Amino acid sequence: MSPPLVAALLFAICGGVAAFSMQFTLREFAIESGVNRWVFVAVPGLFSALFAMLVYQGAEKRVKTVGQSISRGLLVALLTWFGFSALATAVWFPIEDFSRWLSTVLLISGVMGGGPMLLAALIAGAAVGFLIRHRGAAWVMKT
């Protein structure tokens, strides 16, 4: 498996666990907006996987330390946060008010889910960095 694919898998798992830890809050928001509650729980993990695949392209050549991988993981977390906030804004508010409400939704989602998503990004980023740095796990990554 390539490093971007491993990163996507790890970030999807960690992002899904982080979103699942906030499922009761996300469920209430989903009910208010008329969206299936599992969509709001699954989307952060899926966004994390998508952004991890993009951010970790070429990482086997560029990432030399675990810290560099963690910084890429933080970028994945920021992109996931912005993507989820944009989706939530589009679901809750009329599209013509999108730009007016996006900053409010960014603030609310950052306060609500910032801790679990940050922890998930740090764990997944460190795990991917460790796997890239120590290629001893040949069953995971082949060059």
pLDDT digits (tens, 9 = 90+) for 5-15: 999 999 999 99
> Can you state the percent helix, strand and coil of the chain, rounding each to 5?
85, 0, 15
Q: How large is the average pLDDT for residues 78-95?
A: 91
CA dist list (Å): 76 to 36, 39, 99: 25, 20, 22
DSSP 8-state symbol, 95: G
pTM: 0.87
Answer yes or no: is pLDDT of 54 > 60: yes
DSSP 8-state symbol, 35: S
C-beta of residue 131 within 8 angstroms of C-beta of residue 141: yes
**Confidence at residue 139, expressed as pLDDT on a 0 to 100 scale:** 45
Q: What is 36-68 written as a DSSP string?
A: -HHHHHHHHHHHHHHHHHHHTTTHHHH--SHHH
C-beta of residue 93 within 8 angstroms of C-beta of residue 29: no
